[in-house]
Amino acid sequence: MNTNRPVPLLDVPRGNAPLREEFLEALASVIDSGRFLFGPDVKKLEEECARWSNCRFGVGCASGSDALLLSLMASGLRAGDEVICPSFTFFATASAVTRLGGIPVFVDIDPETFNMDPKVLDAAITEKTKAVIPVHLFGQCADMDAIMQVCDARGLIVIEDACQSIGASMNGRPASSWGHLASISFYPTKNLGGMGDGGMIVTNDEELEDQLRLLAGHGMRPRYYHSVVGINSRLDSMQAAVLNVKINHLDDAIAGRQKNARLYHKLFAKSGLTHEISLPKAKLGDGHVWNQFTIRVHNGLRDQLKAFLAEQNIGSEIYYPVPLHMQECFQSLGYQPDDLPETLKASEEVLSLPIFPELEAEEVRIVVDGVKRFFAMSQRRAA
């Protein structure tokens, strides 16, 4: 029998409801201004994102995926160039490379953080390597000090995929402040989520900023004169107005996620489920912003646990069930599943639990109780 209150994986309206009046006011002023592109709201958000990232410049664009694409275009990626990235990430990290005729070279992850393992980076570099895309997955920075050491020594361009991790930091240094370029996504479920698609590139390099603006606007300068083939990728003023409201509350949203992560750790530690599951670690200091709270489920029980939680009306999701090196569209790259053993293992074990900022302590308890009930039941069955 299922008696607990339902706990959703995500509840976007719950987060937005308290800001409704602020949103309406901000949107009304865009409507009245008639400046739907390139307005003051976009400029303000660019400055705010740059500030959060300890960067000089922000350049708005249409999505996090476009932020990666434009970053690679501005880096001068050419057909046949290799770009090293993790396989355990969202598709857009690698598809941007392929769309430009580049070759994604997938490397394995550190099993404790799910992020690119800096130790395997050096061996993946060839004379064709142009750039590296470390991903700050689930809200935690990749080990950027170690990654930059390798990349600087080999003269490689570094593009941080910070799509899940605005506001994250490592030893006090913010995500997006290490690489030549970094991409941020405003997809509604990201830590700074808009009301539709949107993205941002941040950089400290004035020439790259200029190149990004050129490329995002059809390579057109002056009007109707095209020196390069760009794309059309803009952040519109409506999204920027909404995001300017939300970025003022980003500190609180991050604090809410961190509070929920602490409660999960406390309750799971008391549950005694040390052999059944492993908890996510904030390995590099306290700068984890918990876009996801991702546990590992051992002994091949992940999918059964997920189904059990769903029966109890508890949301959970698998990020990501198929690593990129095993995707159908990348088969021509010639990888075998166990070429990246930690990536393969993670894809078989991970399960993300509800962690959104407005999630209540009571709901965290319901989730932990649900997990405990599942293992009590499966142990009784095994006995």
- Tell me which residues touch ligand PLP (CB under 6 A): 63-65, 89-90, 92-93, 135, 161, 163-164, 185, 187, 197, 199
Of 139, 140, 137, 175, residue with least CA distance to 158: 175
Distance of closest approach, residue 309 Cβ to ligand PLP, in angstroms: 23
Distance of closest approach, residue 93 Cβ to ligand PLP, in angstroms: 5
Could you say which DSSP state residue 230 is in?
A: -
Residue identified by tokens 């800096």 is 118
Sheet holding 277-278, edge to edge: 277-278, 293-297, 350-353
Residue 85 to residue 158: CA distance in whole angstroms: 10
Coil, strand or helix at 173 = strand
Distance of closest approach, residue 137 Cβ to ligand PLP, in angstroms: 6
Nearer to ligand PLP by C-beta: 57 or 88? 88
Nearer to ligand PLP by C-beta: 30 or 135? 135
Nearer to ligand PLP by C-beta: 131 or 371? 131
Nearer to ligand PLP by C-beta: 187 or 308? 187
Pairing of strands 173-174, 350-353: unpaired
Q: Find out whether 257 and 56 touch, Cβ atoms under 8 Å.
A: no
Identity of residue 111: P
Nearer to ligand PLP by C-beta: 74 or 263? 74
- Return the beta strands (E) in the chain as ranges: 57-61, 82-86, 103-107, 129-132, 157-161, 169-170, 173-174, 181-185, 199-203, 277-278, 293-297, 350-353
Distance of closest approach, residue 67 Cβ to ligand PLP, in angstroms: 7
Q: Return the residue nearest ligand PLP (CB atom).
A: 64
Nearer to ligand PLP by C-beta: 138 or 335? 138
Nearer to ligand PLP by C-beta: 39 or 199? 199
Nearer to ligand PLP by C-beta: 85 or 309? 85
Distance of closest approach, residue 208 Cβ to ligand PLP, in angstroms: 19
Distance of closest approach, residue 267 Cβ to ligand PLP, in angstroms: 27
End-to-end CA distance of the chain: 22
DSSP state string for 307-373: HHHHHTTB--B-S-SS-GGGSGGGGGG---GGGSHHHHHHHHHEEEE---TT--HHHHHHHHHHHHH
Distance of closest approach, residue 228 Cβ to ligand PLP, in angstroms: 23
Angle formed by the axes of helices 20-33 and 237-247, to 10°? 150
Residue 204 to residue 237: CA distance in whole angstroms: 24
Alpha carbon 365 to its chain centroid, in Å, reads 26
Distance of closest approach, residue 63 Cβ to ligand PLP, in angstroms: 4
Distance of closest approach, residue 308 Cβ to ligand PLP, in angstroms: 27
Could you say which DSSP state residue 116 is in?
A: B
Of 45, 78, 77, residue with least CA distance to 61: 45
Nearer to ligand PLP by C-beta: 190 or 263? 190
Nearer to ligand PLP by C-beta: 92 or 305? 92
Q: Is 351 exposed, middle or buried (0-12, 13-18, 19+ CB in 10 A)?
A: buried
